[in-house]
């Protein structure tokens, strides 16, 4: 027997299961991987493959919540074949990306969930060629929006003689954030990561290819769990992509989600996320004389003043503006889709109110 709480299951999910569902013998399970229409799950009975319950998921298919890696789902267990998935329990945290698809000749943006129900988001950047503060700002915004707790990891410290400027630069854009400088080669900074290694906590990584994610996971696991892709340090084109999606458990009980979608994660930033990352700018903007200040030519503009006296850099202000624009764009689409989805979900619910299990 597997104890699903070792896989992150808790009361938040348990509470969502109705008496009717319990009575029908439905059981919770966690999604370990998704391959086209086959799902690999873990439940109290162990690992098994699963399929979606067709009569639920393939009607109004556009408006259903489909399982993603890390999701907790309700299944009807099948000891001699594939389990059947009835429903996705509400997610505590999730990463989604804009998935522009061409459907019925209409270009629509749909939200694709690439990981769900994680606790920590390890934002990774290597201290050598890949270093870019703006990118870290974007990751932070995305991480805040996901609901997970971001932790910044600067990797490959052994390749860098003096990283104090880079750390200071990040501190200035991520005030109060946990920043760890590490090297899996020398072991530098690795002990400091122990505090995140709580049994049944789920970690997810945000970062570009080749930043040393697999090496970190192997170091944390104390074994060769993920294949380390050898790339030449001076060749940023030598990138390799992982072709599986997975959730797996380390010996110390920590769960890791690593999906290809995480890698391609675009910006689906909401205003909250931006507010957290750019709290200094939002604070300044609130001091502008006019509420609707465009920070261009209005008198009494606190942002212009800060740009002039150098307390705010042009670069940081520019990346704020850029992110705001993207967020606005995504938010409009997201709000539209959400409203639409909710409408059809409610309609579907009423229709299936007397659903048989």
Distances in Å between the Cα of 131 and the Cα atoms of 62, 124, 189 are 39, 10, 18
CA distance 253 to 347: 41
Distances in Å between the Cα of 172 and the Cα atoms of 26, 169, 182, 286 are 49, 5, 19, 20
Q: Tell whether 160 is in a known binding site.
A: no
Q: Tell whether 354 is in a known binding site.
A: no
CA distance 169 to 125: 13
Closest by Cα among 206, 211, 214 to 248 = 214
| Contact partner, 288, from Zn ion, ligand GTP, none, Cβ < 5-8 Å per class | Zn ion
319 binds ligand GTP (CB under 6 A): no
Q: Are 219 and 192 in contact (CB under 8 A)?
A: no
Q: Tell whether 155 is in a known binding site.
A: yes
293 binds Zn ion (CB under 5 A): yes
| Contact partner, 209, from ligand GTP, Zn ion, none, Cβ < 5-8 Å per class | ligand GTP
Q: Scanning the structure block, which residue is given the tokens 């992982």? A: 242
210 binds ligand GTP (CB under 6 A): yes
Binding-site member from 228, 307, 331, 337 for ligand GTP (CB under 6 A): 228
Binding-site member from 43, 48, 93, 184 for ligand GTP (CB under 6 A): 184
Q: Tell whether 295 is in a known binding site.
A: yes
Q: Tell whether 222 is in a known binding site.
A: no
259 binds ligand GTP (CB under 6 A): no
Task: Closer to Zn ion by CB, 123 or 301: give it.
Answer: 301
CA distance 287 to 303: 8
Binding-site member from 68, 151, 174, 211 for ligand GTP (CB under 6 A): 211
CB of 9 to ligand GTP, least distance (A): 28
212 binds ligand GTP (CB under 6 A): yes
CA–centroid distance for 120 within its chain = 9
CA distance 152 to 236: 22
Which parts of this chain interact with ligand GTP (CB under 6 A)? Answer: 155-156, 158-159, 183-185, 209-215, 228-231, 239-240, 242
Which parts of this chain interact with Zn ion (CB under 5 A)? Answer: 288, 293, 295, 301, 303
């Amino acid at each position: 027997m597997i104890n699903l709480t070792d896989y992150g299951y808790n009361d938040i999910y348990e509470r969502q299961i109705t008496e009717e569902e319990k009575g029908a013998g439905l059981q919770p399970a966690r999604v370990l991987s998704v391959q086209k229409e086959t799902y690999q799950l873990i439940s109290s009975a162990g690992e098994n493959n699963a399929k979606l319950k067709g009569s639920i998921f393939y009607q109004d298919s556009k408006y259903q919540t489909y399982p993603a890696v890390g999701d907790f789902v309700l299944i009807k267990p099948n000891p001699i074949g594939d389990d059947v998935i009835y429903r996705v329990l509400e997610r505590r945290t999730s990463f989604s990306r804009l998935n522009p698809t061409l459907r019925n000749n209409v270009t629509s943006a749909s939200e694709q969930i690439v990981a769900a129900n994680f606790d920590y988001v390890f934002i990774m950047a290597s201290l050598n060629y890949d270093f870019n503060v703006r990118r870290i700002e974007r990751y932070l915004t995305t991480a805040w929006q996901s609901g997970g707790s971001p932790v910044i990891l600067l990797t490959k410290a052994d390749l860098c003689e003096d990283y104090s400027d880079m750390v200071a630069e990040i501190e200035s854009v991520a005030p109060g954030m946990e920043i760890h400088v590490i090297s899996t080669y020398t072991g530098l900074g690795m002990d400091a990561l122990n505090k995140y290694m709580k049994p049944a906590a789920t970690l997810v990584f945000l970062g570009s290819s080749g930043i040393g994610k697999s090496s970190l996971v192997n170091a944390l696991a104390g074994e060769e769990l993920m294949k380390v892709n050898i790339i030449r340090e001076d060749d940023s084109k030598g990138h390799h992509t992982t072709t599986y999606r997975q959730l797996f458990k380390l010996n110390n009980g920590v769960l890791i989600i690593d999906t290809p979608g995480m890698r391609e994660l675009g910006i689906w930033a909401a205003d909250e996320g931006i507010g957290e990352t750019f709290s200094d700018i939002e604070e300044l903007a609130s001091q502008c004389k006019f509420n609707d200040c465009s920070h261009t030519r209005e008198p009494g503009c606190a942002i212009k003043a800060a740009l002039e006296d150098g307390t705010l850099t042009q670069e940081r202000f520019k990346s704020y503006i850029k992110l705001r624009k993207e967020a606005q764009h995504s938010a409009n689409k997201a709000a539209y889709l959400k409203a639409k989805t909710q409408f059809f979900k409610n309609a579907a619910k009423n229709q299936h109110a007397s659903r048989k299990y």
